[in-house]
């Protein structure tokens, strides 16, 4: 069964707090005092029973996604391994007389307990981090109770999502996988695409929240199907980036203008937003991170595992993966995945 929801996203800007001219130490102390005061005041306010939502993980993607929920008007209970990111959100969205807006939980267990039968989203960066936070003594599973609804937005392997689903169900909860197509900027601007599988009832309940964070959401069937779709999409994306890099490398060796290559591509059937954005950045050797190369290689590896499992031949993806592995070995993992060009174009 395929369900598609579309929404129009809007951009937003939130002001950062300002302080008078202070030393770095004084500024840090003033900020910490402000965060403690905000946290204290928010903890005494009630959560709206109709709008409470939990969010675990405020990394490259999570922080932008939470801001979209806050702009929608939801109160969000958050947890992140480094509390500074939670405090930054609290400073941007301080409590009002009748709303907490942001409440910082001590651990993932508290997030789920406070949300109760509301929705809790999880967006963690790696399979290791996701499993650690899920299984910790005060982690996600410890907080699952009858009626809990967990939506995991990370890109993991199918077996990971299926294991989480089984564990959540065993404690009386419901599970939806919802990996996303999109990177940091789409997360910040509400342009993500959610690829979901699992409990369809949770999907239907989550649609208004998915609409706030994205431009489309698909329900693809049983748990695992959303992850499989995400791996297919990211495999194509990673091989396209490798192919673009090879084309620019060939043009360079042939003494052709790489700028002209990007221009020609933009005018024909192969035009696409990624080439139009990343082509000039590759030429300028600008690899400011939106989607880390280490995550692109992780997803490629997962896609190759899936291909082996289902008997699909993907030689282009296998060749691209070797370039990404080499880039990792050369220290490019924290840069944008366009940095694979540094290997291909050397």
Report yes or no: 95 and 101 within 8 Å, Cβ to Cβ. Answer: yes
Distances (CA, A) of 226 to 2, 59, 216, 306, 336: 11, 21, 13, 13, 24
Taking Cα atoms as reference points, which of 333, 343, 340 lies closest to residue 274? 340
Distances (CA, A) of 77 to 85, 93, 96, 162: 13, 12, 15, 26
Catalytic residue among 149, 230, 298, 335: 230
Helix (H, G, I), strand (E, B) or coil at 152: strand
* 230 is annotated as an active-site residue: yes
103: β partners? 77
174: β partners? 149
Residue 272: count of CB within 10 angstroms of its CB: 13
Number of H helices, E strands in the chain: 15, 10
Kindly list the catalytic residues: 230
């Amino acid at each position: 069964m395929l369900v598609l929801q579309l929404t129009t996203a809007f951009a937003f800007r939130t002001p950062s707090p300002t302080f008078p001219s202070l030393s770095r130490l004084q500024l840090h102390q003033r900020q910490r005092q402000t965060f403690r005061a905000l946290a204290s005041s928010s903890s005494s306010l009630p959560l709206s029973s109709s709008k409470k939502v939990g969010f675990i993980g405020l990394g490259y993607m999570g922080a932008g996604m939470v801001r979209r929920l806050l702009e929608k008007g939801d109160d969000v209970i958050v947890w992140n391994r480094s509390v500074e990111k939670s405090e930054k959100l609290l400073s941007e969205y301080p409590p009002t007389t009748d709303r907490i807006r942001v409440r910082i939980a001590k651990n993932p267990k508290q997030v789920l307990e406070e949300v109760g039968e509301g929705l809790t989203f999880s967006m963690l960066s790696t399979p290791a981090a996701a499993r650690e936070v899920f299984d910790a003594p005060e982690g996600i599973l410890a907080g699952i109770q009858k009626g809990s609804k967990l939506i995991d937005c990370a890109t993991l392997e199918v077996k990971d999502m299926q294991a989480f689903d089984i564990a959540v169900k065993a404690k009386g909860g419901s599970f939806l996988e919802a990996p996303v197509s999109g990177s940091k900027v789409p997360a910040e601007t509400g342009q993500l695409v959610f690829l979901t599988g699992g409990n369809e009832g949770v999907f239907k309940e989550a649609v208004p929240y998915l609409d706030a964070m994205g431009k489309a959401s698909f329900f693809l069937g049983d748990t695992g199907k959303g992850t499989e779709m995400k791996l297919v999409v990211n495999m194509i994306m990673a091989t396209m980036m490798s192919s673009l890099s090879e084309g620019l490398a060939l043009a360079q060796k042939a003494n052709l203008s790489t700028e002209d290559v990007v221009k020609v591509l933009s005018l024909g059937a192969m035009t696409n937003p990624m080439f139009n954005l990343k082509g000039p950045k590759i030429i300028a050797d600008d690899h400011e991170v939106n989607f880390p190369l280490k995550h692109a290689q992780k997803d490629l590896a997962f896609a190759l595992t899936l291909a082996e499992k289902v008997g699909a031949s993907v030689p282009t993806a296998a060749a691209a993966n070797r370039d990404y592995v080499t880039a990792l070995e050369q220290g490019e993992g924290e840069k944008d995945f366009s940095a694979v060009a540094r290997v291909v174009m050397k």
